[in-house]
């Protein structure tokens, strides 16, 4: 299998967590931002990464979108499953996965690039990096008001995770749904990982980053910047 990705994308990290959780072997190809669209449009009809190429007879040529990749992986290899067998719990897994994918991952992107353009400029002050950040801010409409809304969204998501993940003295790590890791936990761990570089989040929510670290270790995925 080949995973087409941007090396720094948290959505591509999410796909890698799924592949790693299933112990599947795969290779990655890093695409150059901008030129990526030329390669992807004919393959998936979209321009976003990650895209998985199963490269096996009887399998689709390409699977675009990290949520579709998770569902594909469950069809391709049932165990360990990313969903749950109880129908109600399974519906909750995929609803939370979708919330993180469509809303919280976007909010994390807004807050991360706002940080990188200001207080976190020293992470990479090079002209090339700052130019790339300006393009991303323009492309996604990242400005003061949208960043403020994104911060509020992140606070609500972290409070939710606090109830389900935080072991708060019990010595036991929790799960978002049921009694084992699912697509919901993997999505949350990947899509909040950009916050690991932002000191205020690190100081305020140490348990969050402990859990993100544990999930990466279980999925045999290198830790995100800030945790490595
Ligand atoms: N919901 C999509 C989001 C993927 C996404 O936003 N990918 C970004 C990188 S983090 C991308 O490829 N952007 C380039 C573009 O939109 O052309 C998924 O889960 O795969």
HEC secondary structure over 64-99: ECHHHHHHHHHHHCCCCCCCCCCHHHHHHHHHHHHH
Q: How far apart are CA 103 and CA 172, in angstroms?
A: 28
Q: How far apart are CA 220 and CA 25, in angstroms?
A: 11
Residue 34: pLDDT band (50, 70, 90) is confident
**What is the number of H-type helices and E-type strands within the chain?**
10, 4
**Binding site membership of 101 for ligand 1 (Cβ less than 6 Å):** yes
| Six token digits for residue 213 | 């670290």
93 CA from centroid of ligand 1 (Å)? 21
The ranges assigned to domains in the chain are: 2-76, 87-218
CATH architecture of 2-76: 3-Layer(aba) Sandwich (3.40)
Q: How far apart are CA 226 and CA 49, in angstroms?
A: 23
- CA-nearest residue for atom 10, ligand 1, is 9
9 CA from centroid of ligand 1 (Å)? 8
- Tell me if domain 2-76 and domain 87-218 are identical in fold: no
Rounded to two decimals, what is the model's pTM?
0.96
pLDDT digits (tens, 9 = 90+) for 115-140: 999 999 999 999 999 999 999 999 99
68 CA from centroid of ligand 1 (Å)? 13
| Six token digits for residue 105 | 């991952």
Task: Let me know if domain 87-218 sits in CATH 1.10.287.
Answer: no
Residue closest to 15 by CA, chosen among 6, 27, 1, 3 = 3
């Amino acid at each position: 299998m080949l995973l087409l990705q941007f090396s720094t994308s948290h959505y591509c990290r999410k796909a890698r967590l799924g592949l790693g959780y299933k112990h599947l072997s795969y290779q990655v190809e890093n695409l150059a931002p901008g030129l990526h669209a030329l390669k992807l449009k004919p393959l998936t009809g979209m321009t976003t990464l990650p895209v998985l190429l199963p490269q096996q007879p009887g399998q689709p040529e390409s699977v675009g979108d990290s949520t579709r990749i998770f569902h594909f992986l469950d069809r391709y290899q049932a165990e360990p499953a990313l969903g749950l067998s109880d129908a109600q719990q399974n519906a909750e897994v995929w609803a939370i996965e979708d919330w993180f994918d469509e809303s919280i991952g976007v909010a994390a992107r807004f807050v991360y690039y706002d940080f990188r353009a200001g207080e976190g400029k020293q992470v990479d002050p090079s002209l090339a990096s700052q130019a790339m950040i300006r393009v991303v801010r323009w492309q996604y409409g990242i400005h003061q008001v949208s960043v403020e809304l994104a911060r509020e969204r992140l606070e609500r998501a972290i409070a939710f995770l606090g109830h389900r993940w935080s072991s708060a003295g019990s010595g036991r790590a929790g799960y978002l749904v049921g009694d084992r890791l699912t697509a919901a936990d993997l999505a949350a761990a990947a899509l909040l990982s950009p916050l690991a570089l932002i000191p205020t989040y690190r100081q305020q929510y140490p348990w969050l980053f402990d859990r993100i670290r544990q999930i990466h270790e279980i999925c045999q995925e290198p830790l995100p910047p800030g945790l490595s």
